[in-house]
Structure 1
Amino acid sequence: MKEQIAYFFSNYYQAFGLTPNMSKYANMFTLLLIALIVTYVIDRVIRTILRAISVRVAKHTKSPFDDLLLANKVPRNVAHIIPLIIALKLLPIVFIDFSIIEIPIRKILQVLFIVLTLWIVRSILFTLEDYFKTLPRLRDKPIDSYIQVFMIFAWVAGVFAAIAVFSDVSILKFITGFGAASAIILLIFKDTILGFVASIQVSINDMVRIGDWITFEKYGADGDVVEINLATVKVQNFDNTITTIPTYAMISDSFKNWRGMTNSDGRRIKRHLMIKQDSIKFLTAKDIERLKGIEIISAYLEQMGGKIDSYNTQNSIDKTLLLNGRNLTNIGVFRKYIQTYLESHSAINKDMLLMARQLQATAEGVPLEIYAFSKDKRWENYEYVMSDLFDHFLAAVPAFDLEIFEYPSSSNFKTK
């Protein structure tokens, strides 16, 4: 059949007076032009039909998957398969008299077929990636890493197949011989392999997800994870800069993930006031009467005053010196004031740990630490709550005859 088609045009040109040799060339160019036109028309028709069917199906389904197939041009890429197969079938007819030209063109078309296959695989993988990101349970998983790994394997297989086509060596023999160079491949793709292993471990151990707030001091990262792929983890810092961290660093180095705080019912406030030691004292009866004017601790002072007086009376304590017996101290009453103030504050979560505690004294004074949890975990609101609390506590310190420690400045030294 192909000989009849080929020689029909050859005889036609010879009838017009062309030599047999010239008619062969004219025949080849004519058949080549016809083959290109036929292939192009078939490609356009199939592409139009597939797209029309795909659009219609996408409109009548609720799943976003078919819409993503269209967005990633899967039907368009698939439509090129049949025209390419037809082009391969037409080669023997077009180059019936020029087999020396047919062989390299056939190999080029075969390589194009491999590239087209890779392109279709790539479109499908990107579609799966986009679809998985729409699923709530997979939205924060490092899907990019797995897609990239599959693409690497696909491209490696494609390169092997292309080389096998050009070298006329079977893929199996080519891969067997290529095994000797595996050490070089491991060296070249070291970061990729490490990243792949790290991505699996990060995902299995649920160490970090997209959207997590992490702090990675080694890399200067402090912000939200926006992307996890095979080689890197991208963090958008709170100053809107982007920090890129190697994926394998997530398992080889230490970093802080704030997800636990974000998922909890409050954000921790842990800060202390440094009280000067020489401002700490026992409270006299006059001091206690004055402090009873502070409403939130007046009941406490009344209750503790009665217990202390009863104890000292029953045990005949000589109160000539305040040191004798049981006594209230200004730092202890201030600590109770802080505790009571926190318990009544609307921005503090009362269901979580809440306390005001005294830490080990240092050369700079006695730390009085506030340990509580803010209901609002948003950074700006959290900072506002914490600042508001310490504004109040710092202003309240003098009311208890206490002083905040600070290093002397030049204004503390007066010269005559």
Structure 2
Amino acid sequence: MQTGLALLALALAASLANWVAKRIVLKGVLRMLGRTPFEAEARHVGAIVARLSNILPTVIVQAGIAAVPGLPANFVAFVHSLCAVIIILTLTLALTATLTLGNELYQRRPDARNRPIKGYVQVANLLVYAAAAILVLAALMNQSPLLLLSGLGAMAAVLMLVFKDTILSLVASVQIGSNDMVRVGDWIEMPKLDANGDVIDIALHTVKVQNFDKTITTIPTYRLITESFRNWRGMSESGGRRVMRALMIDQNSIGFLNEKELAKFARFSVLRGYLQERQEQVCTWNEAHAPEEILDARRLTNLGTFRAYVLAYLQSRPDIADDKTLLVRQLAPSENGMPLEIYAFAKTTVWAQYENIQADIFDHLLAIMPEFGLRVFQRPTGSDFAFLTQERRYAAERDLRAPASLSSQRNL
């Protein structure tokens, strides 16, 4: 009867402490937090305080179980160890929730995207759980935690093998954060892992990339250190995106310009200054050297004039950046023709607008190229061979009809 009454009294005391902690202390804390302007943070802090309130009745049970008469010593030790485990787990969950709250508060900073701490928070949570596991084992075994820690030295190799990825990811997270290699929102490209899109999350073990087809690629964090990848942040911050594409010109269509063609090109307002300057240079050189043959004289070419037109056309476009590199250059000729490459920067980084600007430029250049007597080189297709075969058949038919027509003319 004494044991039962003592247990009942202990249960009532624990229940009363739980009621006081939940109904009075917790409500008072929540009411005070509700008066602050930080409503979201108040909810998180309230959840942490509610979790900590479970410690008070557990401490009362742990301290009062030894005062109950008639209980076996083993049962008292078990209850004491169980209460210690509950207290350790409660503190562990509260501490990890506090770390998560700290990470959420940090993410509201303006520079949080540049230096995320989510990986460090995950490492801290991992250390807290590891320490909690050691303390729980020590409480259940009724041994000192230092005794368990001394045995971990022999397990260091096993632990390093088990947590190999975690260690690599931790080192990679430190290097990524210190060197500012990747931020949330960056467009990165990693062909080996089929990743080409925006970074949406940087954690301890993984980096999530949302590709442009809306699929998600998960990259191990340490792969960003051990392998190369492309970060397009510099392009986004510069405010312009590069246009680098070549027109393949048929080399058989390149030639000198005559006076009639020069007069025709003078109608182009963007070419008048170029033609006047170049003609003066050519005339001055020819007068100074007095070439005997026309082949020895300097003359303007349709390709050079077209290159000057392309450069002037790009300079006149308002959507092409004039403060960045702007080139129209010839590359080495090959069996595919003469490459005339355009190297410029659009004044936007928006993908759709960039593609429209690039398409407008080459639509115009492809359409106006015949005005300069130039042709685009492309490999012959089936329709080209069919046209050539048809032309040969018509020529053969004309040759067969030719003798008959000649004999009829003689008879007449």
TM-score (norm 1): 0.88
Change (3 A) 1:96 1:53: farther
Structure-1 residue corresponding to 2:318: 346
Q: Which residue of 2 aligns with 1:20?
A: none
Q: Which of 363, 366, 380 is matched with 2:335 structurally?
A: 363
Is 1:86–2:63 an aligned residue pair? no
Q: What residue ranges of structure 1 are gaps of 5+ in the alignment?
A: 1-22
Residue 17 of structure 1 corresponds to which residue in structure 2? none
Cα 1:71/1:26, change in 2 over 3 Å:
closer
Cross-structure match for 1:19: none
Q: For residue 352 of structure 1, report the CA deviation from its aligned partner.
A: 0.7
Q: Distance in 2 between matches of 1:95 and 1:282?
A: 116
Q: CA deviation at 1:119?
A: 1.0
Q: 1:245-269: per-residue Cα shift (whole Å, max 9, x none)?
A: 0100011000000111111131111
Q: Counterparts of 1:24-63 in structure 2 under 5 Å?
A: 24=2, 26-44=4-22, 45-56=24-35, 58-59=36-37
Aligned counterpart, 1:12: none
Report 1:366-385 matches (<5 A): 366-385=338-357
Tell me the residue number matched to 2:41. Answer: 68
In structure 1, what is the equivalent of residue 396 of structure 2? Answer: none
Distance 1:96 1:227, change over 3 A: farther
Deviation at 1:303, TM superposition (A): 2.5
Deviations 1:382-412 (A, max 9, x none): 1111111111111111111111111111000
TM-superposed CA distance for 1:109, in Å, is: 1.1
For residues 298-331 of structure 1, the C-alpha deviation after alignment (integer angstroms, 9 at most, x for no partner) is 221123223312321332224x53x322111111
Which residue of structure 1 lines up, in the alignment, with residue 207 of structure 2?
233
Which secondary structure does the structure 2 equivalent of 1:294 belong to? coil
Q: Contact 1:145–1:228 (CA<8 Å) still a contact in 2?
A: yes
Deviation of the 1:284 alpha carbon: 1.3
Aligned equivalents of 2:120, 2:68: Cα separation in 1: 44
Asked if the contact 1:132/1:139 (under 8 Å) is kept, the reply is no
Alpha-carbon distance in 2 for matches of 1:139, 1:347: 30
The residue number in structure 2 matching 1:8 is none
Distance 1:87 1:378 in 2: 64
Name the CA distance, whole Å, in 2 between partners of 1:184 and 1:400: 75
Q: Match for residue 5 of structure 1?
A: none
Q: 1:95 to 1:206 in 2, by over 3 A?
A: farther
In the alignment, is the contact (CA less than 8 A) between 2:204 and 2:221 conserved in 1?
Answer: yes
* 1:94 CA drift (Å): 4.5
Segment drifting more, 225-234 vs 81-90: 81-90
**Residue deviations 1:206-241 (CA, integer Å, cap 9, x gap):** 111111110011111111111111101101111111
Alignment correspondent of 1:406: 378
Greater alpha carbon shift after TM alignment, 71-80 vs 295-304: 71-80
Report if aligned partners of 1:69, 1:127 keep a CA contact under 8 Å in 2: no
Matched, 1:124 2:98: yes
Contact residue 187 and residue 199 of structure 2 kept, 8 A: yes
Show the counterpart of 1:276: 250
Aligned residues: percent identity? Answer: 35
Distance in 1 between residues matched to 2:70 and 2:28, nearest whole Å: 33
Q: TM-score, normalised by structure 2?
A: 0.89
The partner residue of 2:161 within 171, 182, 187 is 187
Deviation at 1:353, TM superposition (A): 0.6
Give the direction of change, closer, same or farther, for the CA distance of 1:316–1:95 in structure 2 (3 Å limit): farther
Backbone CA RMSD of aligned residues? 1.8
Maintained 8 Å contact 1:274/1:405: yes
* Structure 2 alignment gaps of length 5 or more: 394-412
Higher mean C-alpha deviation, range 160-169 or range 307-316: 307-316
Number of positions where the alignment pairs a residue of Structure 1 with one of Structure 2: 386
Alpha-carbon distance change, 260 to 361 in structure 1, aligned in 2, over 3 angstroms: same
Q: CA deviation at 1:354?
A: 0.6
**d(CA) in 2 for partners of 1:77 and 1:53?**
17
Instruction: Give the letter aligned to residue 26 of structure 2.
Output: R
